[in-house]
Amino acid sequence: MSEAPGLDTVATATASPDTPQPYAELGMPRDEYERVREILGRRPTAAELAIYSVMWSEHCSYKSSKVHLRQFGEKAPENDALLVGMGENAGVVDVGDGNAVTFKIESHNSPSFVEPHQGAATGVGGIVRDILTMGARPVAVMDALRFGPADADDTKRMLPGVTSGISFYGNCLGLPNIGGEIGFDRSYLGNPLVNALCVGVLKHEDIKLAQAPGPGNKVVLFGSTTGPDGIGGASVLASASFDEELESKRPSVQVGDPFMEKLLIECSLELYAQDMVVGIQDLGAAGVSCATTELAAGGTGGMNIQLDRVPLRDHRLTPEEILMSESQERMMAIVEPAKMPDFLAVCDKWGILAAEIGEVTEVTPEEAERGGRLVMTWHGETVVDMPPRTASDEGPVYQRPFARPESQDALQADDAAKLPRPEGDTELREQLLRVLGAPGVCDPTWVTQQYDSYVRGDTVVSTPHDSGMIRISDDSDRGVALATDGNGRYTLLDPYVGTQLAYAEAYRNVSATGARPLAVTNCLNFGSPEDSGVMWQFAETTRGLADACQQLGTPVTGGNVSFYNQTGDVAINPTPVIGVLGVIDDVNARLRSGFDTDGARVFLLGETRAEFGGSAWADVVHDHLGGLPPQVDLPAEAALGEVLASSAEQGLAAAAHDLSDGGLAVALAEAALRGRRGLRVEVDGDAFTSLFSESAARAIVAVKPGREEAFVALAAQHGVPVTQIGTVGGESLSVSHPGGVVEIGLDELRATYEETLPALMNGV
Amino acid sequence: MTARVGVVTFPGSLDDKDAARAVSLAGAEPVALWHADPDLKGVDAVVLPGGFSYGDYLRCGAIARFAPLMSELVPAARSGALPVLGICNGFQILCESHLLPGALTRNSSLRFVNRDQVLRMENTRTAWTNGYDEGQEILVVLKSGEGSYVADEETLDQLESEGRVVARYVGGNPNGSRRDIAGVTNAHGNVVGLMPHPEHAVEALTGPSTEGLGFFTSILGHLAAPAQA
């Protein structure tokens, strides 16, 4: 291999202002490039252009979403539990007794489409490092997945690959996978969604931040070596130095090494415990570019880096490729010089490679004014000399135009209420089974069975129940519960209401296991922000979530935006995935969704209206999407949540299950199957509406025998409508109504529920 | 005196915390052992926990058998003196170390499987199973990608005839193991390898049952009455 034809140093850049630069190929618009030239007072070097292009990308800078995301801070409710808010790697909330929890959800959509297994695997790896970076021990993961139609050829490539990637990486890290969701819709064909969530536990005093204080402190890169994976656009900067054939063999998707990540977790936690780091940042998107600019910007503003000291797995890498590499399993720490020998000894114990690549420097007041000074050299020659804050914090901010699409009126006018309803019990029964067996509703065991849910021994509730719950430690009864939800069909019909419904469902899920909701994370998956209709959906979504969180007192602690999920002009259904975290004081009181207490009375909480817009019934039976989504009533959700959590706390409930996709029909079937007991239920009025309406703020509860009165009184105290609808027991689900009865044996119910995914996915 | 049961941590061990918890719940003192230290710290018995010892990109347990600690453990176990329970990856390590015959290969489904699993206890005379009744069915956790037990027919016949099959899967073979074998023991009965995880079935709050605790109480019984081995 010949050397690159001339290093693009700061001196070269100053001397050759007119050299054409491939900013457009790197995805940087001309005006942003001009702004870089203005900041630097010259053209950027290739390395500087690499840094600005990745740091100012939509993915890293949130330039299209920022103006909307601000509402999460502006409307944030007063909440004493919030210890670290938005803007850091992940939010941190107080859960009592000096314990804190950090959690966040993030997308890895595009890499998963390109290479499902590695894309999903490294999605898990990335979010786990975010949690680790906060100073926490990662303790559990979850994932929210969306695919094209379950019988589409590409879904049979995507789903097994994504599942095996999550399984491979998460299992090997020893993190229980405690829940999540899976959905199918044609809008995701070509744009699958892979959103991974991680939660970590720490003590208040252990919180770490991405900052680099203290001039003279060392900058240490530790973990994996840096290779050419995930470089993507960097090749255009360096094209002269490779022949084309070699270049084409380089993967644009990163490759994960979970064993290295496991070592990195244990090594980092030991470094934290011994107080050996003053600042820490993981290397994710934008790799060294992001870690150095953010650490420097969060500290003195000054840093010198010797890029040639970065340990490489391919010695041919150029400075700009090193800066853009997204090689996984790497961390950057700021370490006091006196602690370096001990730092290296801990790394050595865990077999972790560590390299001192630079140090924190003083900046002059003038330099501070400009945004600090980050200098990088390559074998003694200066290739970067820039104010880091201009890359990390002062990127472009767009006020993208947004407008309600003209088609929205017609969509909402296409009311699901006019769809033909089942005539007679035979058809009602048949439609119940069709909805129950539909890919997005049916038993997800084919997927979830590939995930370790038991490791660490603190999993108190997991799939398939309403939330995932973990005990915080062996010597505490306190637990945290997490649920994620997002219904793209509702959100398409009304993004404001649909987002609040997603939030409400996650809130309800957490309550249904006995926990009280405390804080929120979100992953907002949308089409192109350059489409004004998509941008309107996004604006409505952020407004809806900020309003809901304000109203119910659960702050947004962080999240992630994924734009450009579209093929040609066709965007995905807008899919905000909302994660709600709750706390339960005594995990022994937790509720699960299987109704397994023979003779227990079953109560329906909440009010049922005729609401079918965006429902599973409209989708499965009529392939219809139109009308308005169910109404959202946040005070009713809060009241319901309080009744559920209190009934767990007071020992009134034996089990509980929230109502969502497929309404009462699906909730009853799941409660029966998971409890391995039949249910005898009686409903007033129209059986179809009772069974298939998706009215929000509802749940079913199996009440402990003898506690019925107390339960009804509790519901009344909180103003939640309560109706006794049946009894646990028998070998079938039987629903009688004024016009007749629908009865399905447990065996048939189970076969319908369980056979869908194996039939589609086995042998592919 | 409280029995001291070592739990080995390899760099990629994952269920070491769980195994230590199970040892405590059984009433013994868990002692942390580090793969790189050739020192058994005088423990009375050892658990090799589940996980991916060294990442296991090569073959599960293939590198772990060469760990410094194993140079102390293997001879003591082979002689019949040191009781060793290998769970999941620990079972794989015991096979790679030739303390137990056979090997664990990829599940027949080619997918990782995590599920609650019923086992039938077949040999209740070992150091780790004497607290169970022969034929007793217990509910524990199975979670593995390479859990299919294989050996040649001659070895399988020998295991059967010597009563060295410790436990079998009931209610469907989850991974293609020959003759539904979930666990085996050596001729002395001090070394037991088990693919499912009894340490995840020790608390009603977190496990499918508490029926896995018997492995950890069995070792206490064994140590209290060593002559029975």
Encode pLDDT of B91-138 as tens digits: 999 999 999 999 999 999 999 999 999 999 999 999 999 999 999 999
Q: pLDDT value at position A76?
A: 87
Contacts of B55 in chain A (CB under 8 A): 172, 257-260
Q: Do A450 and B113 touch (CB under 8 A)?
A: yes
Q: Measured at the alpha carbon of residue A406, what is the angle toward residues A402 and A408, in degrees to the nearest 5? A: 95
Residue B227's pLDDT is 55
Mean pLDDT, chain B, integer: 94
Is B60 annotated as catalytic? no
Q: Which of A351, A451, A587 is closest, CB to CB, to B205?
A: A587
Residues with Cβ within 8 Å of residue A407, at least 6 apart in sequence? A533
Asked if the C-beta of B79 comes within 8 angstroms of chain A's C-beta atoms, the answer is: no
B52 CB neighbours in chain A (<8 A) are 172, 258-259, 262
CATH code for the domain of A264: 3.90.650.10
A453 vs B57: CB contact, 8 Å cut-off? no
Residue from B88, B95, B211, B222 carrying the catalytic annotation: B88
CB within 8 Å: A171 and B143: yes
Comparing CB atoms, the residue among A173, A263, A460 nearest residue B206 is: A460
* DSSP element (H, E) containing A523: strand A516-525
pLDDT at site B226: 53
Determine whether the interchain pair A449/B114 forms a contact, defined as Cβ–Cβ distance below 8 Å. yes
The answer to the question of residue A762 being in a domain is no
The encoded tokens of residue A589 equal 């009181």
Per-residue DSSP letters for B141-181? EEEESS-EEE--HHHHHHHHHTT-EEEEEESS-SS--GGGE
Distance from the Cα of B50 to chain A's closest Cα (Å) equals: 9
Alpha carbon separation from A341 to A21, A224, A354, A399, A495 (Å, rounded): 43, 20, 11, 49, 54
Say yes or no for a CB contact (<8 Å) between A455 and B15: yes
Q: How many CB pairs under 8 A join A and B?
A: 86
Query: Quick one: closest CA in B to A263, which residue?
Result: B11
Q: Which residues of B touch A174 (CB under 8 A)?
A: 14-15, 51
State the catalytic residue, choosing from B197, B200, B211, B222: B197
Measure A166 CA to nearest chain B CA, in Å.
Answer: 11
Residue A523's pLDDT is what?
97
* Range of the structural domain that residue A228 is part of: 10-64+208-392
Q: Which CA distances in Å does A371 have to A39, A142, A388, A393, B146?
A: 10, 38, 6, 9, 53
Are A457 and B199 in contact (CB < 8 Å)?
yes
Residues of chain A with C-beta less than 8 angstroms from the C-beta of B11: 259, 262-263, 266, 350-351
A33, part of any domain: yes
At which residue do the structure tokens 């089409």 appear? A527
Which chain B residue lies closest to A590 (C-alpha atoms)?
B205
Q: b vs e for A261-300, b when ≥16 Cβ sit within 10 Å of the residue's Cβ?
A: bbbbbbbbbebbeeebbbbbbbbbbbbbbbbbbbbbbbbb
Q: For residue A27, tell me if it sits in a domain.
A: yes
Structural domains present in chain B: 4-228 (3.40.50.880)
- Distance between A169 CA and the closest CA of chain B, angstroms: 11
Q: Do A452 and B207 touch (CB under 8 A)?
A: no
> Which pair of tokens denotes residue B198?
């009894």
Residue A143 CA to residue A159 CA, distance in Å, equals 13
Distance from CA of B51 to the nearest CA of A (A): 7
Minimal Cα distance from B202: which residue of A? Answer: A457
- Contact partners, residue A81, CB within 8 Å, separation at least 6: A93, A94, A95, A518, A519
Residue of A nearest to B25 (CA): A474
Distance (Å, whole) CA B88 – CA B197: 7
Q: Do A452 and B12 touch (CB under 8 A)?
A: no
Residues of chain A contacting B, Cβ within 8 Å: 164, 167-168, 171-174, 257-260, 262-263, 266, 350-351, 448-460, 471, 474, 587-588
Any A CB within 8 A of B150 CB: no
- Tell whether A266 is covered by a domain: yes
Contact flag A451-B199 (C-beta cutoff 8 Å): no
- Cβ-Cβ contacts under 8 Å, A450 against chain B: 111-114
> Which of B92, B196, B132, B193 is CA-nearest to residue A454?
B196
Judged by CB atoms closer than 8 Å, whether chains meet at B55 and A172 is answered as yes
Q: Out of B11, B112, B141, whose CB is closest to A263? A: B11
Q: What is the pLDDT of residue A235?
A: 46
Regions of chain A with pLDDT less than 50: 1-4, 233-249
Q: Which residue of B has its CA nearest to A164?
A: B111
CB contact under 8 A, A259 and B145: no
Determine contact, residues B48/B87, Cβ cutoff 8 Å: yes
Taking contacts as CB-CB distances below 8 angstroms, the residues of chain A near B203 are: 457
Cβ of A167 and B55 within 8 Å? no
- List of residues 6+ apart from A400 with CB closer than 8 A: A64, A529, A530, A532, A535
Question: Is residue A39 situated within a structural domain?
Answer: yes
Scanning every residue of chain A, which has its alpha carbon at the shortest distance from the alpha carbon of B36? A349
Contact B112 A171 (CB under 8 A): yes
Residues of B in contact with A266 (CB under 8 A): 11
Query: Per the structure, how many domains does chain A have?
Result: 1
Which of A172, A448, A453 is nearest residue B52 as measured by Cβ atoms?
A172
| A278 located within any domain | yes
With beta carbons under 8 A apart, name residues in chain B contacting A263.
11-12
The answer to whether the Cβ–Cβ distance between B115 and A257 falls below 8 Å is no
Cβ contacts (< 8 Å) between A259 and chain B: which residues?
A: 11-12, 52, 54-57
Which residues of A belong to the active site? 59, 108
Distance from the Cα of B46 to chain A's closest Cα (Å) equals 19
What sign results for the dihedral spanned by CA atoms A71, A77, A81, A83?
A: positive
How many angstroms separate the CA of residue B158 from the nearest CA in chain A? 34
What is the spatial distance between Cα B182 and Cα B152, in angstroms, rounded to a whole number?
16
Nearest to A459 among B56, B145, B206 (CB): B206
The answer to whether A697 and A606 have CB atoms below 8 angstroms apart is yes
Residue B83 sits at the chain A interface (C-beta within 8 Å): no
Q: Tell me if A259 and B15 make a contact (CB, 8 A cut-off).
A: no
Please give the residue of chain A at the shortest CA–CA distance from B140.
A454
